[in-house]
Structure 1
Amino acid sequence: MDAIERMKGMRTKASIVCIGGANVDRKARLLVPLELGTSHPVASAQTAGGVARNIAENLGRLGQNVALLSVVGDDHDGQWLIDATSPYVDTRLVTRIPEANTGAYTAVLDEHGEMVLALADMAIYDAVRSEWLKQRWRELGPISAVVLDTNFPPDVISWVIGQCRQERLPLCAVTVSVPKVKRLPADLAGVMWLVTNQAEAMALAGKRRLDDAIESLFRFGVETIVITRGAEGVVYATRKGKRGTIAAPAIKVIDATGAGDAFAAGFLYGVLNGHSVKDACRLGMSNAALTLQTAETVHPALTEQQLRAAHEQYFREGGE
């Protein structure tokens, strides 16, 4: 299917709407061990990034109908980002903001591909207000589900959660960082799935123990909590009492950037296509494993077939 045919289909089919960040990712990978106070040889690259945008591209590559609601600057980076995303995602509602810099994320990775330092220039998102989102919301077609990251200001995030609750739309909230997790409101009723990591979950709940954090998040109104823990795997819990821990597959990591977003996309692909929470987590982990083994933020050759093959390779026992 070419890009024109795909865009025509996007206008009529229900879309997964991804709301949040769309950034330019710049990565510098150290070729030698880090020593403070001196220069280092690196291998550098630029890719399209942003949590909501990354999830949207992953889902688009997995054959899902996806629209992106975000903002970029009226600059070269903004146009480049739209051009890089449009083959997989409906970008008609990405707004160009004059005299603003497109969001940029710069990561320094050690020689093993793990992040040493990340710098985020995200001032463009602070100018977004709920009125902008209300206008864009009216321009959306049918919605099958909503994905919300925490890059936008608290009033925008609260409005989306309230609107999804009112319209009974399945909503997945995906956290971005410990500081930004506090942009989520105390009332999370309407959040069907919360995808977060351990540090962010405990910061949001105000707890020091993971079990206590999970119980607090249920009291906030979340229906299903999925907590990623890097090499230690994933913990999931549902309000209906299903809980479990899944070990991460053993792989060689090339670059960790984008792995969390790949997990969220694989998880959503699973739950929106009828898989149990447990098996959806396995699909998420399979997608993350594929991304970890590439230098790109989103796996450049991702397909449904590849994801299902990875799921079979890493989790042969199947779902619940």
Structure 2
Amino acid sequence: MFKYDVLCIGSATVDSFLTIEQPLQEVKLGDKVLVNSVEKHSGGGATNSAAALSKLGLSVKILTKMGGDHDADFIIKELKEYKIKNICQHHSIKNTDSGTIISSVKEKDRIIYVHKGASLDLSSDDFKKSQLNTKWIYLASLMGKSFQTTKKIISYAEKKKVKILFNASSYLAKKGKNYLKSILKATSILVLNKEEAQALLKSSSNNSSQLLRSLHQFGPETVVITNGNKALYALHDNVVYSLIPPKVKIVHTAGAGDAFTAGLLAGIIKNYSFENALRLGQVNSSSVIQHIGTKNKLLTEREAQQLIKRYNIKVTKNIKVKKMRT
């Protein structure tokens, strides 16, 4: 019997957001750059997705390893505001993961520097299998020892009929499809951005429909490829969908992917049509990119429904494709 909706597995970080005046491309080696503003927020694939899912009304837990430090305390305090519990029972001797996100007031993109510490140390001894009694696992990226632990969790989840959403990062996607084969085979929903999809397939193709079909062959029932403020594409029930994001003022793009993916999953769990699940994910992402911080401003379900009506987001069904499997 499933006792909660989603277990989010991934990293937990404390991120420093630095905003500078000049375009990032104009910064040269050796420059001393004045910073306009500095903000500190929690981040990481596990906490971002969990907060978004909780805000949308789902019961959520996370599995992430942190250090025994002030950054971990900062993250735990923030998670309590979302009523989220970490089922990891031990601290790492390493520091909690951290990140520095640098953006310019004159550009819409950013540079992210990430330090991987405690999140590399997750082992099977850190949690009880009885705590994996969830309907869904939202799998964000983990590396090293933690990735091997993740593979064991996914194998166990398959046997227990737990569904898997996999949201791979760029550094994990670059490992390639063979490295991720067992996870892809067990995945119900795969969400990547276009660069990650190309990296995973080792393809330079810009044809999103072809990328979708290629990824679908490795196991995922549903595949979604996002592309920033350009059209996203999805393959679901052998039909290709497309959605053009609404135009909003972009302040910061960090956390946009997590907000979208969590919204999509929430819609599916709540039995939305697939088109409306895509819309739910999109408005959540569109809200986050108008603020600094990966959890500002995540939407409640009611807020999301209001924005779906306001933006009148069009979802197009494109072509029906034959079901393919390797």
Question: Per the shorter chain, which TM-score range?
Answer: 0.7 to 0.9
Taking the aligned partners of 1:319 and 1:91, their CA distance within structure 2 comes to: 38
Counterpart of 1:186, as a letter, is K
Is contact 1:270–1:279 with CA below 8 Å preserved after alignment? yes
Per-residue Cα deviation, 1:147-184 (whole angstroms, up to 9, x for no partner):
00112433223223322222111210011224455275
Residue of structure 2 in register with 1:146 after alignment: 137
Taking the aligned partners of 1:52 and 1:112, their CA distance within structure 2 comes to: 30
1:117-156 to 2 correspondence within 5 Å? 117-129=111-123, 131-132=124-125, 135-140=127-132, 142-153=133-144, 154-156=147-149
Matched, 1:177 2:167: no
Q: 1:300 to 1:316 in 2, by over 3 A?
A: closer
Residue of structure 2 in register with 1:157 after alignment: 150
Taking the aligned partners of 2:155 and 2:226, their CA distance within structure 1 comes to: 26
Matched, 1:77 2:71: yes
Query: 1:175 aligns to what SS in structure 2?
Result: coil
The answer to which of 266-275 and 299-308 deviates more is: 299-308
Per the normalisation by structure 2, the TM-score is 0.86
Is contact 2:23–2:107 with CA below 8 Å preserved after alignment? no
Matched, 1:306 2:316: no
Matched, 1:41 2:34: yes
Q: 1:319 to 1:214 in 2, by over 3 A?
A: closer
1:1-320 to 2 correspondence within 5 Å? 13-34=3-24, 35-36=27-28, 37-42=30-35, 43-112=37-106, 114-129=108-123, 131-132=124-125, 135-140=127-132, 142-153=133-144, 154-179=147-172, 182=175, 185-187=180-182, 188-209=184-205, 210-238=208-236, 240-300=237-297, 302-315=299-312
Query: 1:232 aligns to what SS in structure 2?
Result: coil
Post-superposition offset of 1:279? 2.0
Taking the aligned partners of 2:265 and 2:105, their CA distance within structure 1 comes to: 31
Query: 1:256 aligns to what SS in structure 2?
Result: coil
Taking the aligned partners of 1:292 and 1:96, their CA distance within structure 2 comes to: 34
Per-residue Cα deviation, 1:61-89 (whole angstroms, up to 9, x for no partner):
11111001111110010011111112214
The answer to which of 42-51 and 299-308 deviates more is: 299-308
Taking the aligned partners of 2:230 and 2:297, their CA distance within structure 1 comes to: 26
Q: 1:318 to 1:309 in 2, by over 3 A?
A: farther
* Structure 2 gap ranges (5+): 318-326
Counterpart of 1:158, as a letter, is K
Counterpart of 1:137, as a letter, is K
Is contact 1:279–1:319 with CA below 8 Å preserved after alignment? no
Q: 1:315 to 1:170 in 2, by over 3 A?
A: farther
Counterpart of 2:137, as a letter, is V
Query: 1:84 aligns to what SS in structure 2?
Result: helix
Q: 1:316 to 1:213 in 2, by over 3 A?
A: closer
Post-superposition offset of 1:116? 3.4
Is contact 1:112–1:253 with CA below 8 Å preserved after alignment? no
Counterpart of 1:304, as a letter, is E
Is contact 2:241–2:316 with CA below 8 Å preserved after alignment? no
Taking the aligned partners of 2:41 and 2:189, their CA distance within structure 1 comes to: 28
Q: 1:300 to 1:284 in 2, by over 3 A?
A: closer
Is contact 1:259–1:289 with CA below 8 Å preserved after alignment? yes
Per the normalisation by structure 1, the TM-score is 0.87
Please tell me the root mean square deviation across aligned C-alpha atoms, in Å.
2.3
Counterpart of 1:33, as a letter, is P
Q: 1:263 to 1:223 in 2, by over 3 A?
A: same
Post-superposition offset of 1:101? 0.4
Post-superposition offset of 1:259? 0.9
Taking the aligned partners of 1:53 and 1:82, their CA distance within structure 2 comes to: 10
Instruction: Give the total of aligned pairs.
Output: 305
Per-residue Cα deviation, 1:210-237 (whole angstroms, up to 9, x for no partner):
4443222222111100111001131101
Taking the aligned partners of 2:158 and 2:174, their CA distance within structure 1 comes to: 20
Is contact 1:113–1:255 with CA below 8 Å preserved after alignment? no
Taking the aligned partners of 2:107 and 2:300, their CA distance within structure 1 comes to: 24
The answer to which of 96-105 and 112-121 deviates more is: 112-121
Post-superposition offset of 1:18? 0.5
Identity %: 25
Is contact 1:276–1:319 with CA below 8 Å preserved after alignment? no
